[in-house]
Amino acid sequence: MSKLKIAIFLSGRGSNFEAILKNIETKSLDAKIECVVSNNPNAAGLNIASTYNIPTYTFSPKKFKNTEEYEEAILSKLSNHPIDLIVCAGYMKLIGPTLLNAFTNKIINIHPSLLPSFKGLNAQKQALEYGVKLSGCTVHFVDSSLDGGAIIRQVSVDVKEGDTEETLSKRILKQEHIVYSNVIQLFAKGHITIKNRNIIIN
Ligand code: GRF
């Protein structure tokens, strides 16, 4: 079976991207990262891509008239590659209809909370402020809503007394680095079926 061809979308540090790269290197993930797309020219994740000689495409959304034109520019670069799956890894921009229509059920995201709790920014801070005893991370398909697409897999993490945003984020991130590659591998092997909001893993 040929490798799953991935485009990574990121805006920042890229630790999830790096974890995926490492899992590909150690052959626990049958995938190939074709390219990295970023809306932030200063994203540290772009340096990781350069280290691995992975093509990067950076776009400034502000330079485009609207999201449609921005995403059409992304699509024209993606068309240079045989992309099976878009993996959002800290991509801090809502995906619009242009990309969603071109990659229906082929865009996934990871979010640092147990969705549907604590959508949006600073999910770990939201969880601490709310006072939950369990948080975690969620891998989900991307749809037009904010962090609202069908849930593929979740991992729970204890919230401990005295946790700060930093300590909780670190504990969750450790799990993110494992579960994201696991889900991508399931996708690569065709084990994920989407039926409305219900994901069946076989
Ligand atoms: C992660 O916490 C992820 O869940 C969220 O953004 C963060 C990205 O971190 N969507 P990194 O850039 O992968 O280190």
pLDDT tens per residue across span 47-69: 999 999 999 999 999 999 999 99
In this structure, the residue with its CA closest to atom 6 of ligand 1 is: 90
Percent of the chain with pLDDT over 70: 100
Which residues are registered as beta bridge partners of 134? Answer: 158
If you measure from the C-alpha of residue 140 to the centroid of ligand 1, how many angstroms do you get, rounded to a whole number?
14
- Where are the chain's structural domains? 4-201
Rounded CA separation 149/16 (Å): 20
Cα 72 to ligand 1 centre (Å)? 25
Mean pLDDT of the chain: 97
% pLDDT > 90, the chain: 99
Tell me the best of 176, 181, 184 to mutate to test the pocket of ligand 1, counting ligand atoms within 8 Å of each CB and taking the most. Answer: 176
pLDDT at 109: 98
Q: pTM of this prediction?
A: 0.98
At the fourth CATH level, which superfamily is domain 4-201? Answer: Formyl transferase, N-terminal domain (3.40.50.170)
Is 72 a residue whose pLDDT tops 80? yes
Check residue 118 and give left, alpha or beta (phi > 0: left; psi -120 to 50: alpha).
left
pLDDT band at 201; cut points 50, 70, 90? very high
Per-residue pLDDT, 1: 63
pLDDT in the model for residue 196: 86
The answer on pLDDT for 96 being more than 90 is yes
Model confidence at 25: pLDDT above 70: yes
CA of 111 to the centre of ligand 1 (A): 7
DSSP-assigned letter for residue 150: P
- Whether 111 is a known active-site residue: answer yes
Point out the catalytic residue in the list 111, 140, 177, 191: 111
Whether the Cβ atoms of residue 184 and residue 87 lie closer than 8 Å to each other: yes
pLDDT in the model for residue 2: 85
Q: What is the mean pLDDT of residues 134-157?
A: 98
Please give the number of the atom of ligand 1 that sits closest to the Cα of 176: 4
Which three-class secondary structure state does DSSP give residue 8?
strand
Q: With beta carbons less than 8 A apart as the criterion, state whether 53 and 84 touch.
A: no
- Per-residue pLDDT, averaged over 109-116, amounts to 98
